[in-house]
């Protein structure tokens, strides 16, 4: 039997649906495993290469019945809200399900790429290096339950590897930084700042950014590693095609840019006549707010990836063009 199916868990979501679209361009059949209760994701399920849509609760029955056709698994499905507080659901969807995917791919000899998160780095005090050894990973302190759920999976996998236990033939954990781009409309308050500001401008409103509460950062100059979703897809497919040594890899641009640069890019590309004003940051998040994130790409570059990443100005221009063309 030909192994002609690529599994994409979370394939109806933001990053997953963009991956499915690129797989379509490469004439690869995709099986989407997701929670289809969210009707807002329906626009993300129109790709002609979708071979099957499988509810996440039936995932392993389906996988067991079609194992001889599965060529690779991209495990991107998860609760991705950084404000999620239901620990039981986070454990079920982000931890237990991920561990079961790892076990299934190990048992069937199937290459696996799974989504970790830059949220595992916490406040960044210990840096943003994906080359950390297990003992270093243990010292990371994520700032919310979502980040901790991703950290649990990373640690479980790295412990298994360190103990010499069986693994998938190749595996990659990818730590996404601040991703933006098409098909994130369903994410509610977790939509990227680029989309939120675009929507504000289109409605004729004023752009609002948080004031800074640290003297070394001017208002609006809080820094993030913002990466366009298409650049994320390029890295994931490169990893699973070129097959460098297994491990955890950052997926960011390696270049921190400010929220003010996002705002200016939105204004420039929409040609909006609006102004930027600075507002108080909610007290509840001031002590936990990250002022700087930047992916260390040394490991990815050393593995051979030489792709170029969009700047904020370039990526926002591409995104606005897609939104203007009707892509949600």
d(CA 110, CA 310): 32
- The DSSP letter of residue 282 is P
**Catalytic site residue from 41, 114, 121, 146:** 146
d(CA 328, CA 322): 8
151-160 — which CB contacts under 8 Å span 24+ positions? Answer: 151/120, 152/95, 153/94, 153/95, 153/98, 153/99, 153/102, 153/114, 153/116, 154/116, 154/120, 154/248, 156/99, 156/102, 157/102, 158/134, 158/248, 159/134, 160/102
Question: Coil, helix or strand for 72?
Answer: strand
Catalytic site residue 146?
yes
Catalytically annotated residues? 146, 187
């Amino acid at each position: 039997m030909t192994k002609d199916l690529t599994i994409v868990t979370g394939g109806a979501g933001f990053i997953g649906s963009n991956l499915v679209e690129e797989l379509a361009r490469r004439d690869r059949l995709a099986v989407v495993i997701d929670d289809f209760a969210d009707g807002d994701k329906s626009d993300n399920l129109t790709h002609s290469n979708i071979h099957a849509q499988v509810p996440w609760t039936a995932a392993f029955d389906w996988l067991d019945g079609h194992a001889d056709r599965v060529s690779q698994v991209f495990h991107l499905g998860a609760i991705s809200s950084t404000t999620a507080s239901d620990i039981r659901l986070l454990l079920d969807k982000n931890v237990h399900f991920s561990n079961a995917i790892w076990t299934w791919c190990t048992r069937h000899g199937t290459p696996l790429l799974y989504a970790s998160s830059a949220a595992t780095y916490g406040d960044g005090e210990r840096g943003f290096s994906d080359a950390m050894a297990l003992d270093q990973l243990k010292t990371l302190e994520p700032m919310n339950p979502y980040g901790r759920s991703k950290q649990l999976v990373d640690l479980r996998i790295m412990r298994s590897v360190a103990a010499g236990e069986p693994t998938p033939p190749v595996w990659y954990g990818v730590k996404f930084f601040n991703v933006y781009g098409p098909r994130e409309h369903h994410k509610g308050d977790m939509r990227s700042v680029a989309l939120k500001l675009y929507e504000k401008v289109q409605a004729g409103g004023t752009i609002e950014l948080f004031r800074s509460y640290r003297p070394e950062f001017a208002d609006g100059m809080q820094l993030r590693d913002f990466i366009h979703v298409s650049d994320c897809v390029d890295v994931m497919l490169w990893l699973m095609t070129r097959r460098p040594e297994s491990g955890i890899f950052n997926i960011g641009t390696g270049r921190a840019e400010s929220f003010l640069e996002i705002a200016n890019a939105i204004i420039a590309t929409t040609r909006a006549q609006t102004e930027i004003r600075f507002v108080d940051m909610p007290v509840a998040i001031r002590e936990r707010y990250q002022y700087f994130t930047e992916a260390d790409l040394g490991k990815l570059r050393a593995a051979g990836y030489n792709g170029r990443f969009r700047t904020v100005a370039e990526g926002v221009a591409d995104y606005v063009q897609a939104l203007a063309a009707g892509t949600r």
